[in-house]
Amino acid sequence: MRIARLLCWLLIAIGLLTIPVESRAQVLVGVSVRIGPPPLPLYVQPICPEPGYIWAPGYWAYGPDGYFWVPGTWVEPPEVGLLWTPGYWGWENSFYLWHAGYWGPEVGYYGGINYGFGYPGVGFFGGYWKGGAYFYNRTVTNVNVTVVRNTYNATVVNNSTNRVSFNGGPGGVTARPTDREIAADRQRRITMTAEQTQHQQAASTNRTLHASVNHGRPDVAASVRPGQWGSRGAVESGRPPNRHSESPNRPPNGGPSNRDRTPSLRPPNAHPALDERHQQELDRLRQQQTEERQRIEQKHRQEQQRLEQRAASDRQQQEAQHKQQQQLQQLDRKHEQQQQKLEQKQQQERQKQQKPGSSSKPSGNDKPSRD
């Protein structure tokens, strides 16, 4: 028995040695999960701390206790001239596989995930290098012009409000790499810096960042520098900014916007039983909204497949995609209205609890209202 076990380990070792170094690293550190990550939380980008720092969007990582949120942060690149390609989760062979981010001369494929702040799903529009200096697009990045002088303004068209955090699979983004992204992926790569690695490790040990605790709404969604989400400048997750603004990610005059810094949806812990019921109501509403979105997206995928089977023209496909975008935008508005109504109702209940003579025992029959 010992001899057979020894032979087995020898065969495994020989197999690993015959794999190229880059592929071997992917085999050893690759993470695959059966359940997809939660949607991306909405948050305001903290102000850039100093020139030369590049924004690395937040993402859901996976550990022994499940998914945990790694807050977005400003990072100093390992070399001048490099840009950050975010990592992404992709559906492969009935599993969600993590594709790690990397530094390179161009931003490559990141799964079509709309990370915001210059990463709309395809390409990068947050800034560029020129003459050894990094120039920031103030339309989608939060910089203080008194600190950062190299800035410009360029409109970024982003028709998607999808917060899905994975590519492929049920309800996932359907984007595929473009020729330019494929070419960028073949260029020289540099893995995460030591600061980024420590940032992720610190997030894995913070219980409030675990999806099992925050239900997809981390208390801290972004930080000014890696690992400093407990300091001044850390940003909580919250509701999206006004949809009618020209650019929801851009603060006025290059500084942080108090209007966009929405408070946490969690009420103060004055009435624990009432707060717990309110949290359950919010969880039920979000679950209903997620199921409704998945049904619509499944219907759209079926329609797209039928069009492809019939060899439909490009115009028909564009019309179908336009219809899908309109329906998803309407669904987002509906969900936002539902959320506001439920918050108003819960606020009224909390006010009643604070009045003299009112009962502190909440009713268990209340349910979230539906449009």
pLDDT at 228: 81
Type and span of the H or E element at 152: strand 151-152
Query: The pTM is what?
Result: 0.58
Confidence of residue 96 (pLDDT cuts 50, 70, 90): very high
Neighbour-count burial of 24, counting CB atoms closer than 10 A to its CB (0-12 exposed, 13-18 middle, 19+ buried): middle
Most confident of 20-24, 32-36, 87-91: 87-91
Residue for token digits 């490559």? 108
**Rounded Cα–Cα distance for residues 176 and 171 (Å):** 15
Neighbour-count burial of 1, counting CB atoms closer than 10 A to its CB (0-12 exposed, 13-18 middle, 19+ buried): exposed
pLDDT at 265: 34
Neighbour-count burial of 95, counting CB atoms closer than 10 A to its CB (0-12 exposed, 13-18 middle, 19+ buried): middle
**Rounded Cα–Cα distance for residues 256 and 241 (Å):** 13
pLDDT tens track for 7-25 = 444 444 444 444 333 333 3
Upper half-sphere CA count for residue 228 (Cβ side, 13 Å):
13
pLDDT at 297: 67
- Taking the domains of the chain in order of start, what are their residue ranges? 1-30, 34-254, 272-354
pLDDT at 75: 96
pLDDT tens track for 66-86 = 999 999 999 999 999 999 999
Strand-pair category, 151-152 with 102-104:
unpaired
**Rounded Cα–Cα distance for residues 61 and 193 (Å):** 16
**Residue range 209-235: average pLDDT?**
82
Most confident of 161-170, 189-198, 340-349: 189-198
pLDDT tens track for 146-170 = 899 999 988 877 656 678 999 998 8
Within 8 A by CB and 6+ apart from 304, the residues are: 317, 320
pLDDT at 41: 92
Mean pLDDT of the chain: 76
Confidence of residue 114 (pLDDT cuts 50, 70, 90): very high
Distances (CA, A) of 97 to 31, 107, 156, 272: 6, 20, 30, 39
Instruction: Kindly tell me if the per-residue pLDDT of 2 is higher than 60.
Output: no
**Rounded Cα–Cα distance for residues 124 and 207 (Å):** 32
Confidence of residue 346 (pLDDT cuts 50, 70, 90): confident
Residue for token digits 């360029």? 154
Structure-model confidence comparison of residues 351 and 151, the more confident one? 151
pLDDT tens track for 285-334 = 767 776 776 777 677 667 767 766 665 556 666 677 677 777 777 877 78
Lowest mean pLDDT among 51-65, 207-221, 336-350: 336-350
